[in-house]
Amino acid sequence: MKVTLWGTRGSLPSARAETVLYGGNTSCVQIESIAGNSIILDAGSGIHPLGQFLDKKVERVDILLSHLHLDHIQGLGFFAPIWDKNVEIHIYAPATFSESLDTLLTRYLSPPLFPVFLSDVPGQLFLHKIGDDDFDIGNIKIKSRFICHPGTTLGYRISTPKASVAYLSDHEPILGAQEFIKSTDWISGYSLANEADLLIHDSQYTSEEYQEHIGWGHSSIKDALQFAKLAKVKAFVSFHHDPSHNDEALDQILAQAVLEVKPNFKVIAGKEGSTFQLS
Amino acid sequence: MDQKAIELILFRQIASCLAISTLILDPQGKLIFFNEMAEKTFGVRFSETGELLSDKWSHVFIFMDKKGQRIETKALSLYKSITTQRISHEEIYLQSSNDSLALFSLSTVPIVNIQNNFLGVISFIQEFST
């Protein structure tokens, strides 16, 4: 399994000289299995360069959206395969109570916010509402669970027989508590992350910033590392970086959190363009 | 073990912050959480009991009518909320520390998620005099 980070920024694209190292594109991760299946996690602005990179002969693309906040869908209209009539595009997103996925996505992908209606793009779109589900895409197993973030939001565990990746891009598992509950089945996202080879997790705030943003649906990097430690992951990737944090600040924040938590697993700064080969 | 539904997790987090006795039961009537105020009201600690099946919690959480007669579990409004998935309310009595009966209100709300799955109920218990 190969994992590529195409966008690691949270909330707002943040391309400027001081963010070159971590990158400015919003959430997008590509997972490729040895058997050739490819899954895309979220359609933030990072999906635009991914679309340029994909094989022009691709016939099917599967996009798993964590939720429909703008920073996770804003790249969709600029994703080359949706403009190709020969490509099947399957979009999976969390169910909501009253409105169809088509209606929700069209709010953004329609005039005046976007020049073309979603229904008019030439690519063959298949929209799938999902929730707490387990399903397969090719030889890849997908486990989706609702997690703690405002609105309906899914976390994912992507598994092949040889490797597993957990993706919790927007997640505040410590909400309303001072520390994690001992019964792990009561912890949001725990079963997705448990013993994952790679956990890609929301790391938006410093501990001080988190105190000013409780309930906003994001984690401090220290809480994220403690969650990862509890879940016994093998490696951790920081993700969904705050747009106000430049490269220097992100390096310092991560180093400080590592000093405090003392993780017994590999900690990787989530930088755009990074790839991870999992056996 | 899979995680509990996010709606239950969030209700537990809220219940942990409330000064009203709060119980969370699953669709089978198992008591899966009670908060600190409920611990004080009923004199038991969740960390000691853990989750309790209905035939167990009914011996610990004893609800009575105004004559001091125990209300059978299946006659309780909270149990009816489990079977009907409807909001319920009733007035019940609990034994106070000085052995007198104290009047409480018991309100129960079904927890049905966005996919229309029934996940259990949350019950709030408050003494009338407080």
**Cα–Cα distance between B115 and B124 in angstroms, integer?**
25
**By CA distance, what is A130's nearest residue in B?**
B115
Concatenated DSSP letters for A207-265?
Answer: HHHHHTSTTSS--BHHHHHHHHHHTT-SEEEEESB-TT--HHHHHHHHHHHHHHH--SS
Is B130 a residue whose pLDDT tops 70? no
Beta strands in A21-163 (DSSP E): 28-32, 38-41, 60-64, 88-94, 124-130, 133-137, 140-146, 154-159
Judge: B1–A177 Cβ closer than 8 Å, yes or no: no
B89, two tokens: 């309310």
Identify the three-state secondary structure at position A69.
coil
Provide residues of B within 8 Å CB-CB of chain A: 1-10, 12-14, 16-17, 33, 113-115
Using an 8 Å Cβ cutoff, are B123 and B95 in contact? no
pLDDT at A38: 86
Cα angle B64, B68, B72; round to 5: 35
CA distance B34 to chain A (A): 13
Region A23-51 average pLDDT: 94
pLDDT at A262: 97
pLDDT at A3: 98
Q: Which residues pair with A94 in a beta bridge?
A: A130
CA distance A33 to chain B (A): 25
Neighboring chain A residues of B3 at a CB cutoff of 8 Å: 145, 184-192
Region B87-110 average pLDDT: 90
% pLDDT > 90, chain A: 91
pLDDT at B86: 97
Q: Look at A127 and B1; give whichever has higher pLDDT.
A: A127
Using an 8 Å Cβ cutoff, are A242 and A275 in contact? no
Region A127-131 average pLDDT: 95
pLDDT at A35: 77
Nearest Cα to Cα of residue B108 among B129, B126, B127, B130: B126
Is A183 a residue whose pLDDT tops 80? yes
- Complete edge-to-edge strand list for the sheet that includes strand B31-34: B31-34, B21-25, B118-127, B101-112, B88-95
Judge: B14–A148 Cβ closer than 8 Å, yes or no: no
Is A104 a residue whose pLDDT tops 70? yes
Judge: B13–A95 Cβ closer than 8 Å, yes or no: no
Is A30 a residue whose pLDDT tops 70? yes
pLDDT confidence bin for B97, thresholds 50/70/90: low
pLDDT confidence bin for A46, thresholds 50/70/90: very high
Cα angle A129, A132, A134; round to 5: 90
Neighbours of B129 (CB within 10 A): 7
CA distance A153 to chain B (A): 10
Q: Which residues pair with B112 in a beta bridge?
A: B118
Judge: B3–A176 Cβ closer than 8 Å, yes or no: no
Region B100-104 average pLDDT: 90
Nearest by CB to B114, from A97, A184, A191: name it. A97
pLDDT confidence bin for A95, thresholds 50/70/90: confident
Helix (H) or strand (E) holding A105: helix A101-108
Q: Is A152 on the interface with B (CB under 8 A)?
A: yes
% pLDDT > 70, chain A: 100
CA distance B14 to chain A (A): 7
Is B24 a residue whose pLDDT tops 60? yes
For testing the chain B interface, which of A188, A223, A230, A232 should be mutated: the one with the most B CBs within 10 Å? Answer: A188
Neighboring chain B residues of A155 at a CB cutoff of 8 Å: none
ipTM, 2 dp = 0.83
Q: Give the tens place of pLDDT for each residue, A257-269.
A: 999 999 999 999 9
CA distance A152 to chain B (A): 9
Tell me the residue type at A253: I
